[in-house]
């Protein structure tokens, strides 16, 4: 099949490379000529494991192309995906749909022959209706249908998630979309059969409901962690055992410094806005957002308590700045609020992150950026693990103790145990566990 993807950002690029790898002919279109030039040369603008190999392999096989010219690629396509950004709109928290609607207008002018236009961007309920209206108004002769095909991939595991999804959802209002969308995903669902057709508005809501539920699940276990600390229980055991109940499930029950990233904070906020517009407030999600926001600064309090109640004039070392491992993404990362709160308390902060330093420099210019964990730890009164990168799982504590001003480890991701750390002479603090 011939696929065109408008928007070569995270979702567009990963989807394009994976569709091409299934044998489809894919063109990724983006207005950013520098980005397209880089992609043509095999330079990937984001950090995502294995994406560079996948892009190189499929570009070489002539199945994956990059262009700034939307018109030609849309005219040829069986399916055109809209995968442009939908950031939070400044001021009101609604998703900003201007890029989606601009793309719809340009697609309208370029359509030739029957075309499925599918939204992959995360878009509020009703966006598909508006995309359809825009295209029809701009080009009344266009032969097209609009589908909603939200994406559920996680940064850092995007290729695996795309190729082995728990489910694929396609929302349609016109039966003519069913066959091309089934053919497109045939290489995936042949093995597992997770392709579900729903109405278009249902598919749009499913995306927000999924992310909001997961955000709520994380927030639930984070509150259980606080309670565990107060009553002397172990939140990891609580999570493990409640997770054995298949109705609850074991995933997304790791307590930590709160959820961040480019999706959960933005999508929970946008869903709350939609619900308010329809006068059906979602108090569970509103509370989730509020609890999560408070949590990030509360983590700084934990650090301050660990060093005796005051960080003024003290050096604190932060390990991991990105919102999670295996990405260079700093959007809404808990490290932002934690670093700011420590700075407000008078601390000097050194930091190291394996991939996110460049992005972090823009957001947190007051940090001292170091080339590794040991350099960051020099003269620090406490070492704080904020993001659970694999390379922080086997730190050399003898070496750390030699360089630190005080041997204190605050493990906000629970990747160590007290019994492992204390023999090195370290004081150990974690989240929701006595050990």
CA 204, CA 30: separation in Å to the nearest integer? 24
Name the segment binding ligand UGA (CB under 6 A); options: 41-49, 150-158, 358-366, 378-386.
Answer: 150-158
Q: How far is the CB of 372 from ligand UGA (least distance, A)?
A: 22
Spatial distance between the Cα atoms of 69 and 197, rounded to a whole number of angstroms: 32
In sequence order, the 6+-apart residues with CB closer than 8 A to the CB of 105 are 134, 135, 138
Nearer to ligand UGA, 15 or 350 (CB): 15
Cβ distance to ligand UGA smaller for residue 151 or 355: 151
Residue from 132, 151, 204, 229 in contact with ligand UGA (CB under 6 A): 151
Question: In the range 220-259, which residues lie near ligand UGA by CB under 6 A?
Answer: 252-254, 256, 259
Closest CA to 349 of 372, 381, 322, 394: 381
Binding mask 183-222 for ligand UGA (x = CB under 6 A): ----------------------------x--x---x----
What DSSP line would sit under 81-119, residue for residue? EE----PBPTTT--B--HHHHHHHHHHHHH--SSEEEEE
Q: Contacting ligand UGA (CB under 6 A), which of 101, 152, 213, 424?
A: 152
d(CA 88, CA 289): 14
Nearer to ligand UGA, 67 or 414 (CB): 414
- E strands, 93-212, in order: 115-119, 144-148, 168-171, 195-198
CA dihedral 254, 260, 264, 265 (to 10 degrees): 140
Ranges within 256-275 binding ligand UGA (CB under 6 A): 256, 259-261, 263-264
How many chain residues interact with ligand UGA (CB under 6 A)? 20
Shortest spacing between CB 212 and ligand UGA, in angstroms:
10
What part of residues 383-422 is at the interface with ligand UGA (CB under 6 A)? none
User: Can you tell me whether residue 33 is helix, strand or coil?
Assistant: helix
Alpha carbons 306 and 431: distance in angstroms, whole number: 12
What's the CA gap between 245 and 289, in Å, rounded? 26
Which of 175, 158, 132 lies closest to 54 in space, CA to CA? 158
CA 29 to chain centre: 22
Residue 263 annotated among the catalytic residues of the structure: yes
Residue number with CB closer to ligand UGA (129 or 161): 161
For residues 51-110, which are near ligand UGA according to CB under 6 A?
none
Q: Which is nearer to ligand UGA, 155 or 353 (CB)?
A: 155
Helix, strand or coil, per DSSP, at residue 382: strand
Please, what is the minimum distance in Å from the beta carbon of residue 291 to ligand UGA? 13
CB of 214 to ligand UGA, least distance (A): 6
**Cα four-point dihedral sign 240, 193, 7, 132:** negative
The answer to whether the CB of 1 falls within 8 A of the CB of 79 is yes
- Considering only residues 107 through 146, tell me which ones interact with ligand UGA, judged by CB under 6 A: 122
Q: Which residues contact 363 (CB under 8 A, 6 or more apart)?
A: 330, 336
Closest contact distance (angstroms) between CB of 152 and ligand UGA is: 4
CB of 160 to ligand UGA, least distance (A): 12
Non-local CB neighbours of 326 within 8 Å, separated by 6+ positions: 47, 48, 49, 155, 156, 157, 355, 389
Q: Closest approach of Cβ 151 to ligand UGA, in Å?
A: 6
Query: Contact with ligand UGA (CB under 6 A): which of 154, 302, 417, 418?
Result: 154
**Of residues 319-338, those binding ligand UGA (CB under 6 A):** 323-324
Catalytic residue, candidates 18, 28, 263, 370: 263
Contact between residue 74 and residue 115 where contact means Cβ atoms under 8 Å apart = yes
Considering only 70-78, 151-159, 281-289, 418-426, which stretch makes contact with ligand UGA by CB under 6 A?
Answer: 151-159
Q: How far is the CB of 86 from ligand UGA (least distance, A)?
A: 10
Q: Which is nearer to ligand UGA, 110 or 235 (CB)?
A: 235
Residues annotated as part of the active site: 263
Q: Which residues contribute to the site for ligand UGA (CB under 6 A)?
A: 122, 151-155, 211, 214, 218, 252-254, 256, 259-261, 263-264, 323-324
């Amino acid at each position: 099949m011939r696929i065109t993807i408008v928007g070569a950002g995270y979702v567009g690029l990963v989807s394009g490379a994976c569709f091409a790898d299934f044998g489809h002919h894919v063109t990724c279109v983006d207005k950013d000529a520098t980005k397209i030039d880089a992609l043509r040369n095999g330079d990937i603008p984001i950090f995502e494991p294995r994406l560079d190999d996948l892009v190189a392999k499929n570009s070489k096989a002539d199945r994956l192309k990059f262009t700034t010219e939307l018109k030609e690629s849309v005219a040829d396509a069986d399916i055109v995906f809209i995968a442009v950004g939908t950031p939070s709109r400044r001021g009101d928290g609604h998703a900003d749909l201007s890029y989606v609607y601009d793309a719809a207008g340009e697609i309208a002018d370029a359509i030739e022959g029957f075309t499925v236009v599918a939204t992959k961007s995360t878009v509020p309920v009703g966006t598909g209706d508006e995309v359809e209206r825009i295209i029809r108004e701009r080009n009344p002769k266009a032969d097209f249908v609009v589908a909603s095909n939200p994406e559920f991939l996680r940064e850092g595991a995007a290729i695996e998630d795309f190729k082995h999804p728990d489910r694929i959802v396609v929302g349609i209002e016109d039966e003519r979309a069913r066959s091309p969308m089934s053919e497109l995903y045939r290489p995936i669902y042949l093995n597992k059969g997770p392709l579900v057709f729903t109405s278009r508005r249902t598919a749009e809501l499913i995306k927000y409901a999924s992310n909001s539920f997961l955000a709520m699940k994380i927030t639930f276990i984070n509150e259980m962690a606080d309670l565990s600390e107060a009553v002397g229980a172990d939140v990891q055991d609580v999570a493990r055992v409640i997770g054995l109940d298949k109705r609850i499930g074991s995933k997304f029950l790791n307590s930590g410094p709160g959820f961040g990233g480019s999706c959960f904070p933005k999508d929970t906020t946008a869903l709350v806005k939609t619900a308010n517009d329809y006068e059906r407030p979602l108090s569970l999600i509103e509370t989730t957002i509020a609890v999560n926001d408070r949590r990030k600064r509360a983590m700084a309090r934990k650090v301050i308590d660990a060093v005796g109640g005051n960080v003024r004039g003290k050096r604190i070392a932060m390990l991991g700045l990105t919102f999670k491992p295996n990405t260079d993404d700093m959007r809404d990362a808990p490290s932002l609020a934690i670093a700011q709160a420590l700075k407000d308390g008078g601390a000097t902060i050194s930091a190291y992150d394996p991939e996110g330093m460049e992005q972090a420099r823009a957001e947190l210019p007051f940090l001292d950026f170091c080339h590794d964990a040991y350099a960051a730890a020099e003269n620090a009164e406490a070492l704080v693990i904020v993001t659970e990168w694999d390379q922080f799982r086997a730190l050399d504590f003898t070496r750390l103790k030699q360089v630190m001003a005080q041997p204190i480890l605050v493990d906000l991701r629970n990747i160590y145990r007290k019994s492992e750390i204390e023999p090195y002479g370290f004081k150990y603090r974690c989240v929701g566990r006595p050990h």
